[in-house]
Amino acid sequence: MQRIGVLTSGGDASGMNSCIRAVVRKAIYHGIEVIGIKRGYSGFIEAEMYPMNLGSVADIIHRGGTILHTARSERFKTKEGRALAMENVQRFGIQGLVVIGGDGSFTGASIFHQEYGIPVICVPGTIDNDIAGTDYTIGFDTAVNNVVDAINKIRDTATSHERTFVIEVMGRGSGNIALAAGLAGGAESILIPEIPFNVQDICHKLLSGLKRGKLHSIILVAEGAASGLEIGKQIKELTGLDTKVTILGHLQRGGIPTAFDRTLAARLGAKAVELLKDGETNKMVGIKSGEIVATDLTEVIGQPKSIDKEMYELAKILSI
């Protein structure tokens, strides 16, 4: 293995830069050249590629987002698009590929490997933490901390005005961000897509708290479970409580990555290079019980990741 390519694809996640840095510097350490591919698979097709050196990744470990930029590519989903990407593989002499992204990005990498035999190693980078085969994905911890910070600030206002606040968070079809942030932030109710809920039960809990002197409440809603606006409307109609809604949106994605995300990204990026160097392919690097592991992409792509129900039950108990 003399030259590899690295790209980030799908939604950005804080910590991706730390992973890019690790890939570049670990590869150079082993005498392997690195080609940076900009804007994900779109840049792969358009030949937006350039050689990276030690200086290319200097002073980026603390920066959110990705210096390689990211984009979604419909063209890469076609054989014609992947054929153009293969032409660039040959043009730049790429012998292996590190793909940092989520399930869709992994699918593209696996298909590309199957069609052309190019070794690929995938690294889970998504705030949603919805990838099987790993306990954590790059960006999840930072996103959770961003949400907790927002909860803390909103709680100040909720207390001052004696209001109920509904906060909608990201996560696509996963409730991991809502659950982790809700437990850490002391939310009174956490609504996630993995577990059915009843708005009337939530209202009963709110009114019971009001009777015993509770002056405010925080309801955390995962976007895959329901609309925060709709939940807020229903609560106000059923209880008459002064209810406000905040949709956090994309501010959850950005910001300085946490130490955990930086460390995780560095470990996963370095392992990805090691696997390519050792002749491995079509695998994802992840973390299980603190250990870095490699899992076949066939066991990862499209596989559901279950929610931690014990954590959910604990959050319910502590929010009484």
- Contact of 179 with 311, CB cutoff 8 Å: yes
- Contact of 135 with 288, CB cutoff 8 Å: yes
Is there a binding annotation on residue 253?
yes
Is there a binding annotation on residue 251?
yes
Is there a binding annotation on residue 187?
yes
At 126, list the tokens: 């998504």
Is there a binding annotation on residue 161?
no
Is there a binding annotation on residue 82?
no
Is there a binding annotation on residue 303?
no
**What distance lies between CA 59 and its chain's CA centroid?**
22
Is there a binding annotation on residue 244?
yes
Is there a binding annotation on residue 238?
no
Active-site residue, 128 included: yes
Cβ neighbours of residue 73 under 8 Å, at least 6 residues apart? 9, 40, 41, 42, 44, 45, 81, 108
Is there a binding annotation on residue 127?
yes
Is there a binding annotation on residue 186?
yes
Is there a binding annotation on residue 22?
yes
At 72, list the tokens: 């979604």
Is there a binding annotation on residue 63?
no
Angle at the Cα of 230 from the Cα atoms of 229 and 232, rounded to 5 degrees? 65
Is there a binding annotation on residue 20?
no
Q: Which of 12, 128, 141, 261 is catalytic?
A: 128
Write out the binding residues for substrate: 126-128, 163, 170-172, 223, 244, 250-253
Q: Report, as residue numbers or ranges, the catalytic residues.
A: 128
Q: Which residues are annotated as a binding site for ATP?
A: 11, 72-73, 102-105
Residue ranges of the annotated binding site are: 11, 21-25, 72-73, 102-105, 126-128, 155, 163, 170-172, 186-188, 212, 214-216, 223, 244, 250-253
Q: Which residues are annotated as a binding site for ADP?
A: 21-25, 155, 186-188, 212, 214-216
